[in-house]
Amino acid sequence: MSLTTDASRTASRAGKSGSGKTGSGNSRAGKAPAGVTLAPRRGTRARRERIFQWLFLVPAVIYMALFFGYPVVKNLVMSFQDYTTATFFTGEAPWVGLANYVTVLSSSLFSTSLLNTALFTLGSILGQFVIGLALAVFFQRKFPLNGILRSLLLLPWLLPLIVSSAVWRWILDKDSGALNRFLGELGVIHTGVPWLTSTSLALIAVVGVNIWIGIPFNLTILYGGLQEIPDELYEAGSLDGATGWKAFRHITWPMLRPVVSVVLVLGVVYTLKVLDIILGLTNGGPANSTQTIATQSYELSFHEFKFGEGAALGNVLVIISLVFAVLYLRASRRAVDE
Amino acid sequence: MKSARRTTRPLALAAATLFGLPLFISACGATPGASSSEKVTEISVMDYYNNEPDKSFIGDALTSCGTQAGVTIKRETVPGKSLISKVLQQSSSKTLPDVLMLDNPDLQQIAATGALAPLSDFKVSTENFAEGVLSAGTYKDKVYGLAPTVNTIALFYNKDILTKAGVTPPTTWDELKAAAAKLTAGEQYGLAFNANPTYEGTWQFLPVMWSNGGDEKNIDSAETAQALELWTDLVKDGSVSSSALNWTQADVKDQFLAGKAAMMVNGPWQIPALDKQPSLHYGVVKIPVREAGQTAVAPLGGEVWTVPQTGNKARQAKAAEIVACMNSDEKQLSMAKARNTIPSKTTLADKFAVENPKLATFTELIKTARARTGELGEGWPAQATKIYTAIQTALTGKASPADALKQAQGQ
């Protein structure tokens, strides 16, 4: 845009100077026609450049429209329709306005799911972050096998979630699970703890597994952030007596702040939408005690075939995520500014 | 000249992207426009038997039916969980296969969309099929799908453990409770079933609910409450592990195989796994009823074969031939024997039970078995969700069985 205006401004300036000084008939007047003939050529060139600019954008725009725009719009439209299995064949989906939202939000399950989603997200983020940060600080030190241990910690990240949840489901089994066996051998417990089948423990167990899965992400990003902090700061700090906890409190933490906000906000968005781990471990049970908005939306769409209601609930989740995404964008902009 | 060429190339590229991409996409979804007069040489089939040995058993039957009908079979097997989403996707892009297999409780859902053709259009015989089998395949008085072989669930018991404890296989609920309690010792539970929050949990509960006169239309009834009380009592007194809340039927089988459960509720598809362990001696009886004299009503399982509305009459007619052939007496018997399932024609039952004594109990049950969608049709998934919700609420002690059912029904 700016290019065209520049070009036209140059052209008009050339024209003006030409007409204004024709009478004087000196070298300037001689230049004027040249300027006039130059103007259209510059104009086409600018236009061409502008076209190129747009052309370079085309692949990205098509990609965004196809893979982000279309699903979002489709999901939004779907949430206002009575979208059933029949819709797929006939293409007919009657408009029902806000009915899907009313059904979903007034369902007795919604408050349970919302609370579970909040507890699950909060618990997971807190655990992942604290343990991830502690490990990141720990791996800052130089000791043998540091690299190997650090890469081993990435393991939960490399395993397919469905595998992780199957293994954890076995570990947490009440009767023959490895965890209960271990605790039993230690003499801590005498009867099997129903990790996944007690309404009061299941959510805690699921959060625990999700923390295990999330640690590598937190560790990696925070470790990267720590590497960026110049050693001189610590050297200078130690001269002033800032070592150990003081060094962490006054040097590490303030320097790490931008990375921390990014990790936390991304973590929240990732955790809100967790589906496979919960489905793999408990299927939302027992008695809905691990049912989150994500699992309920999946259930509505793909088990009960109420695609409209599933989409409506999905959009509620999108809106919640969006709040955090906006926070992330603001946080990352601030990080860049700093 | 040079600059001109430079301009046209990206322009052409952009044009190709802008117009070519949607064209390409729509081409992918286009139906192979074939006239109905052409000679049909190939029939496409989709099913979810993607694991051996079922994959080959079904594949062989299809191939032989294809030969009989003079066509080659182009078969696609997809994982069970993704079949419905695949079918929905294909029905919107009009690329449904000529022959489609569906799990029986899904049939009415798909038939309701209009994607399937009634089998009567092609004069496929529906004679001699068990009542439950036909009701599973029927939508609005028309039969859309037929299951060659079916299955259900019964009570498996470990002969050695029962003999040692001096327990005979139970036939009533009181006997079941007493037997399960007596068989529970140390790490061994008396009984294993699954009560997980999926349709599987509902499926395992249906025999006690239906046999006692409970009905899925309204689960807030005394009969259903009695049935749920049985399930709750068994878990409460420790005869069934509370892990049942999270077990699948495969987990239940593993418990039984490991000797950690003396009895289990399960289906005939577990027989090959059980037979692999020669030290295990097991028997199968009907799931007990509340009072002697009540009829055991078991839920009907199994897959139906259908002919989708592909819009090509000649192909559909050939497809119907394949479906009819898969349901012929000969194919029913051979597939049932190979796959540990039960032929769906009642006329074959007696002969089959004699030849396959292991499956005799199941064969008997199929005669009176009920289809899950028989009463509610498309409304079944919503009601099935309510049933497992109530089971979970009662088994975790969040509400009494009667209250749990009332809450769930009211939702």
What span, in angstroms and rounded, lies between the C-alpha atoms of B202 and B196?
8
Determine, for residues B17 and A51 on separate chains, whether the beta-carbon distance falls below 8 Å. no
How far B306 CA sits from the closest chain A CA (Å)? 16
Give pTM, 2 decimals.
Answer: 0.83
Question: What is the average pLDDT across A14-33?
Answer: 43
Check residue B296 and give its pLDDT. Answer: 95
pLDDT value of residue A25: 42
β-pairing verdict for B138-139 and B189-192? unpaired
User: Of B300, B273, B135, B344, whose CA–CA distance to B203 is shortest?
Assistant: B300
For residue B91, is it left (φ>0), alpha (ψ between -120 and 50) or beta? alpha
Q: Residue A89's pLDDT is what?
A: 87
Contact B245 A285 (CB under 8 A): yes
Residue A336 binned pLDDT confidence (cut-offs 50, 70, 90)? low
For residue B298, count other CB atoms closer than 10 A to its CB. 26
Contact between B191 and B234 under an 8 Å Cβ cutoff? The reply is yes
Provide mean pLDDT across the span A301-314. 92
| Domain end among A16, A49, A78 | A78
Q: Residues of B with CB below 8 A from A108's CB?
A: 411
Q: How far apart are CA A293 and CA A271, in angstroms?
A: 11
In a domain, A214, yes or no: yes
Between A19 and A331, whose confidence is greater? A331
Q: What is the pLDDT of residue A272?
A: 93
Asked whether residue A69 falls in the same domain as residue A143, the answer is no
Q: What is the pLDDT of residue B411?
A: 80
Which residues face B145 on adjacent strands?
B306
**What is the CB neighbour count within 10 angstroms for residue A241?**
8
**Position A40 confidence tier, pLDDT thresholds 50, 70, 90:** low
Q: Which residues contact B38 (CB under 8 A, 6 or more apart)?
A: B314
Asked if residue A218 and residue A186 are part of one domain, the reply reads yes
Q: How far apart are CA B169 and CA B161, in angstroms?
A: 11
- Answer whether B95's CB lies under 8 Å from B74's CB: no
Q: Determine the pLDDT at residue A7.
A: 41
Q: Report which residue type is found at A292.
A: T
Higher pLDDT, B151 or A27: B151
Which tokens sit at B43? 């029939």
Residues 6+ apart with CB under 8 A from B281: B158, B159, B160
Q: Give the residue from A170, A173, A197 with the most B CB atoms within 10 Å of its CB, the best one to mutate.
A: A197
Among candidates B248, B173, B157, B243, which has minimal Cα distance to B209? B173
- Before A286, cis peptide (omega within 30)? yes
Residue of chain B with shortest Cα separation from A53: B10
Which of the residues in chain B have pLDDT under 50?
A: 1-36
**Bridge pairing between strands B99-103 and B42-47:** parallel
Looking at A48, A78, A108, the residue that finishes a domain is A78
- Which SS3 state, helix, strand or coil, does residue B103 take? strand
Side-chain-side CA neighbours of A282 within 13 Å: the count stands at 29
Tokens of B81: 């969980």
Both A33 and A144 in one domain: the answer is no
Residue type, B220: D
- Give the DSSP letter string of B329-364: HHHHHHHHHHHT-EESBHHHHHHHHHH-GGGHHHHH
Q: Say which residue, A34 or A149, is predicted with more confidence.
A: A149
Best to test chain B binding among A56, A84, A88, A303 (most B CBs inside 10 Å) = A88
Contact A304 B10 (CB under 8 A): no
Could you tell me the sign of the dihedral formed by the alpha carbons of A291, A292, A293, A299, in that order?
negative
> In chain B, which residue's Cα lies nearest the Cα of A199?
B396
pLDDT band at residue A147 under the 50/70/90 scheme: confident
In angstroms, the CA B402 to CA A139 distance is 56
In this prediction, residue A39 carries a pLDDT of 53
Chain A residue closest in CA terms to B12? A55
Residue A156: inside a domain: yes
Q: Mean per-residue pLDDT for A74-100? A: 92
From the CA of A91, how many Å to the nearest CA of chain B? 7
Q: How far is CA B171 from CA A327, B101, B267, B307, in A?
A: 63, 36, 18, 42
Same domain, A74 and A105: no
A116, A261: one domain? yes
Q: Are A120 and A274 in contact (CB under 8 A)?
A: yes
Task: List chain B domain ranges.
Answer: 42-150+302-368, 154-299+376-410
Structure tokens at B380: 């079944």
Mean pLDDT across A51-58: 91
Length of chain A: 338
Phi, psi (degrees; rounded to nearest 5) at B117: -100, 140
Say if residue B107 is exposed, middle or buried (CB neighbours under 10 Å; 0-12, 13-18, 19+): buried
Q: Could you report how far apart the first and last alpha carbons of chain B are, in Å?
A: 74
Between the alpha carbon of residue B259 and those of residues A194, B241, B273, the distances in Å are 20, 14, 14
Interchain pair A58, B245: CB under 8 A: no
Residues A39, A159 within the same domain: no
Q: Hey, do B42-150+302-368 and B154-299+376-410 end up sharing a CATH topology, with the first three levels equal?
A: yes
Q: What is the pLDDT of residues B16-72, one digit of tens each?
A: 444 444 444 444 444 444 444 568 899 999 999 998 889 999 999 999 999 999 999
CA distances from A241 to A235, A236, A237, A238, A254 (A): 10, 9, 6, 5, 17
CA–CA separation, B221 and A231 (whole Å): 73
- Judged against a pLDDT cut of 80, whether residue A48 lies above it is answered with yes
Closest residue on chain A to B96 (Cα): A89
Query: What does the alpha-carbon distance between residue A321 and residue B6 come to, in Å, rounded to a whole number?
Result: 45
Question: Alpha-carbon distance B284 to B155, whole Å?
Answer: 6
Is B242 within 8 Å of A287 when comparing Cβ atoms? no
- Burial of B362 by CB count in 10 Å (0-12 exposed, 13-18 middle, 19+ buried)? buried
- Indicate if A114 and A68 belong to the same structural domain: no
A58 contacts in chain B (CB < 8 Å) = 14, 17-18
Domain assignment present for residue A69? The answer is: yes
3-state secondary structure of B139: strand
Q: How far apart are CA B65 and CA B144, in angstroms?
A: 19
Q: Does B381 sit within 8 Å of A304, measured CB to CB?
A: yes
* Residue A304, both tokens: 């009960």
Average pLDDT for chain A: 85
Q: Which residues on chain B are in Cβ contact (under 8 Å) with A172? A: none
Per-residue pLDDT of A165-189, as tens digits, reads 999 999 999 988 999 999 999 988 8
- Please tell me the distance in Å from A76's CA to the nearest CA on chain B: 19
Torsion angles phi and psi, residue B42, rounded to 5: -140, 140
pLDDT at residue A41, as a whole number:
63
Q: Which amino acid is at A319?
A: I
User: What span, in angstroms and rounded, lies between the C-alpha atoms of B107 and B103?
Assistant: 7
Q: Domain ends where: A25, A44, A78?
A: A78
Cβ B20 vs Cβ B12: under 8 Å: no
Whether B243 sits inside 8 A of A304 (CB atoms) is no
The most distant pair of C-alpha atoms in chain B lies apart, rounded to whole Å, by: 100
ipTM value, please give it.
0.82
The Cβ of residue B22 has, within 10 Å, a number of other Cβ atoms equal to: 12
User: In angstroms, what separates the C-alpha of B11 from chain A's closest C-alpha?
Assistant: 8
**Closest to B289 measured CA to CA, from B375, B367, B220, B213:** B213
How far apart CA B168 and CA B179 sit, in angstroms, is 8
Nearest Cα of chain A lies from the Cα of B106 at a distance, in angstroms, of 10
Domain of A317, CATH number, reads 1.10.3720.10
Task: Tell me the three state secondary structure of residue B293.
Answer: coil
CATH superfamily name and code, B42-150+302-368: Periplasmic binding protein-like II (3.40.190.10)
Instruction: Please name the residues between 310 and 349 in chain B that touch chain A, using a CB distance below 8 Å.
Output: none
pLDDT in tens, A216-235: 999 999 999 999 999 898 88
CA of B360, closest CA in chain A: separation in Å? Answer: 33
| Residue B70 CA: distances (Å) to CA of A318, B41, B62, B64, B326 | 53, 7, 12, 10, 15
Residue range B154-299+376-410, CATH number: 3.40.190.10
Answer whether residue A307 shows pLDDT above 50. yes
Counted across chains A and B, CB pairs separated by less than 8 A come out at 110
Q: Answer whether residue A93 is part of any domain.
A: no
Q: Name which of A167, A158, A261, A176 is nearest A217 in CA terms.
A: A158
Q: What value does the mean pLDDT of chain B take?
A: 90
Establish if A324 belongs to a structural domain. Answer: yes
User: Looking at the 3D structure of chain A, how many domains does it have?
Assistant: 2
**B:106-165 residues touching chain A, CB 8 A cutoff:** 109-110, 112-115
Give residue A129's domain range: 99-337
d(CA B379, CA B384): 9
Above 50 in pLDDT, residue A10?
Answer: no
| % pLDDT > 90, chain A | 53
Are A216 and A323 members of one domain?
yes
Nearest to A48 among B7, B18, B21 (CB): B7
- Secondary structure (3-state) at B75: strand
| Residue of chain B nearest A304, judged by CA positions | B381
The residue type found at B376 is L
